[in-house]
């Protein structure tokens, strides 16, 4: 199993957090619904990859 910084899930989460912080700091105008949609998509991706990796190990 790869360490966190070597996975796409890690970087997708970091990128999502950066966009959320930038939206708050720079008032980029992203709606709360748009931000939550991106968060849900990244969370779903990370969870699905975790399930796929766990299944591949068995």
pLDDT in tens, 4-18: 788 888 899 999 999
Please compute the mean of the pLDDT values over residues 17-28 and round it to a whole number.
91
Residue 49's contacts (CB-CB under 8 Å, 6 or more residues apart) are 7, 8, 9
pLDDT of res. 2: 78
CA angle 44, 25, 6 (to 5 degrees): 40
Report field, pTM of the whole predicted structure over 0.75:
no
What sign does the CA torsion over 45, 51, 13, 43 have?
Answer: positive
Query: What does the pLDDT look like over 32-44, one tens digit per residue?
Result: 999 899 999 999 9
CA distances from 10 to 14, 23, 34, 41 (A): 6, 20, 21, 14
How confident is the model over 22-31, as a mean pLDDT? 90
Residue 53 pLDDT > 80, yes or no? no
């Amino acid at each position: 199993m790869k360490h966190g910084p070597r996975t796409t899930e890690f970087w997708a989460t970091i990128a999502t957090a950066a966009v959320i912080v930038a939206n708050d700091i720079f008032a980029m105008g992203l709606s709360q619904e748009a931000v939550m949609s991106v968060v849900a998509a990244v969370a779903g991706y990370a969870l699905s990859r975790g399930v796929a990796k766990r299944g591949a190990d068995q």
